[in-house]
Amino acid sequence: MQTQFYIPHPLLRGFIQCIMVIDVKVAASAGPVVIPYPPTPQNSLFFYIDDPIQVQFDDTGGFVLQPRSVIVGPQLTPVKIDINQSHKAVRVGFHPGGLYRFLGFSLHEMVDGNYNAADIFGNAMQRVQQQLQEAGDFDAIKEVVEQFLLQRLQSLKPVLPFDQAMLQLMKHNGNTPIEEIASLSCLSLRQFERVCKQRIGLPPKLFARIIRFSKAYRLRENFPLISWTSIAHECGYFDQMHFIRDFKQFARVAPGIIEKELEQAPVRLQGSMRL
């Protein structure tokens, strides 16, 4: 598995956190490569260059083939991803509020949704996909995606103090009081909750919980020998009950089951994320 992170062009850094290129090759004899993918607080735009992926959105349903380019909004529900044998992809990770600024419509309508980017960007997305197929290396792939993003700057929604305040919430792993974040946003608590619903898609306290949970999950992916107690403390959980509650809500299983799932997963997709 090869991963390369790029700091975006200076004109993009106000709403995009990173551009990540990943390349995974799995032997055909390994069979289906199914990986758990619980919610993260970062909205993303994905481009799939090699084999298209399949996603299982519900344990009772089958896997659904995904488009070549997908916009992923706020997520509350875990999914399972079959990446096939050749997985080369690009993930554009947005700052809090960044996807709203990029698309221009409320993220509340996008909760637990995956959207074909070609339906929004039309022929421009088809050109990007063709250029990605022709790109020779990671740097060329990044350049194709970056140029597409730069061409969209004229339609970008303006930044607000809210967006900078939510960055602070992210940097502190969701552990800053919501009243303090609302004050940094220059909004009353009621106004703050309304703006959060529009630009983030979720109530602020729920978003803060996903930030904490995601930090704990990614720590487990990266450091499997660390105890769950140490992870809970590192992420700001002050009691075991809230820690287990978040795992059961956002991963649908207790931490001990997550441990077994990660041991069996041939690839781990969230440990290398940068939020």
Q: What is the pLDDT of residues 15-25, one digit of tens each?
A: 999 999 999 88
Within-domain flag for 79: yes
Q: What is the pLDDT of residues 135-182, one digit of tens each?
A: 989 999 999 999 999 999 999 999 999 999 999 999 999 999 999 999
Within-domain flag for 185: no
Three-class secondary structure assignment of 40-70: CCCCEEEEECCCCCEEECCCCCCCEECCCEE
Within-domain flag for 16: yes
What CATH code is carried by the domain that includes residue 107? 2.60.120.10
Threshold 0.85, pTM exceeds: yes
- Write b or e for each residue in 87-126: b if 16 or more Cβ atoms lie within 10 A of its Cβ, otherwise e: bbbbbbbbbbbbbbbbbeeebbebeeebbebbeebeeebe
Within-domain flag for 203: no
User: What is the model's pLDDT at position 29?
Assistant: 65
Within-domain flag for 207: no
Count of domains observed in the chain: 1
Q: Which two tokens stand for residue 254?
A: 């207790």
Q: Which two tokens stand for residue 192?
A: 């703050």
Domain that holds residue 48: 2-155
